[in-house]
Amino acid sequence: MRGLVLLFKFMTRLPIPTNPEFDSKELGKSMKFFPIVGIVIGAILYGIYLLGSKYIPTSLVLATIIVLTEVILTGGLHLDGLADTFDGIFSYRSKQKMLEIMKDSRLGTNGGIALVLYFILKILLIAGINDMTLGMTGALFGFKSSVGAVVLVTPVLARINPVLNCAVSPYAKPSGSARDFAESTNKTGVLIAVAIALLFSGVVGCGVLGVLNPLHLINITAITMVLGLYFSKLMERKIGGITGDTLGAVLELSEIFILFGFYISTAISLSIKTLI
């Protein structure tokens, strides 16, 4: 339990009433429970969606508020990793120089481009899912809006890949804030993370809310994990392994992949409805 509390304090800016003594080993062992952090973040985003959908008629504005809320909840921690990773990897320097660039707190051109594209894609995908389900075609065929469920489960599913990366790749540096995550996570931890994420997403998204397709959910998760595995192997070739920055990058990229998957899933489901 202490490890999970430490994980929330390390990975989010949520107010945690208890303040346990920091233990890097306990924190590292808690990585397999990372999807639980996603459950809490997703639940807050779902609440924002429910409230916003009543008073904000414009999908782009609502999507922007949801995206910015997530940034606030995480303190931009993972976005910083995304920018640093793109700055380093696309510098096309030596491994050591890439690691030095990633450690530099200044934002480079490649990192800036990555952040701009990230926000554009994320906002457009969320707004697009909302527009499809609430548009004329969706209303005509009684199609329930799935965007609430999507913003609820996406942060949960996306947190599988950082756990996967920790389990399959070495840490690239002699020391670092995420080294204990990499050293303490194994394949059993990945199975636990997958079980938590799929069980929650399936029960809530497919069962309670009843708006997500179970087969699509499994396919999206599987494809995202394959892409996450490829990302970890790419990092091994580029810089010799993973770092805290690459873990943040794979999380944020996973959210884009998952949202894109749900966008396609919504389009397919709506097309099937119109044919029937």
Give the span between the Cα atoms of 166 and 102, in whole angstroms. 18
Q: For the chain, how long is the longest CA-to-CA vector?
A: 59
Give the span between the Cα atoms of 137 and 104, in whole angstroms. 49
Residues 6+ apart with CB under 8 A from 89: 98, 110, 235, 238, 239
Average pLDDT of span 185-201: 97
Encoding tokens for residue 103? 């450690």
Q: Which of 94-98, 134-138, 202-206, 258-262 has the lowest mean pLDDT?
A: 134-138
Average pLDDT of span 84-98: 94
Q: How far is CA 241 from CA 79, 170, 235, 245, in A?
A: 19, 5, 5, 11
**pLDDT tens track for 197-249:** 999 999 999 999 989 999 999 999 999 999 999 999 999 999 999 999 999 99
Q: Which residues pair with 171 in a beta bridge?
A: 242
Instruction: Tell me what pLDDT residue 136 has.
Output: 44
**pLDDT tens track for 154-181:** 999 999 999 999 999 999 998 888 899 9
Helix (H, G, I), strand (E, B) or coil at 242: strand
What percent of the chain is modeled with pLDDT above 90? 81
Encoding tokens for residue 6? 């430490």
Q: Give φ, ψ of 171 to 5 degrees.
A: -80, 135
What angle is formed at CA 31 by the lines to CA 30 and CA 32, rounded to 5 degrees?
90
Encoding tokens for residue 55? 């008073």
| Average pLDDT in the chain | 92
Between residues 251 and 274, the one the model is more confident about: 251
The answer to whether 93 touches 101, Cβ cutoff 8 Å, is yes
pLDDT at 184 over 50: yes
The answer to whether 163 touches 190, Cβ cutoff 8 Å, is yes
Give pTM, 2 decimals.
0.94
Instruction: Tell me what pLDDT residue 269 has.
Output: 80
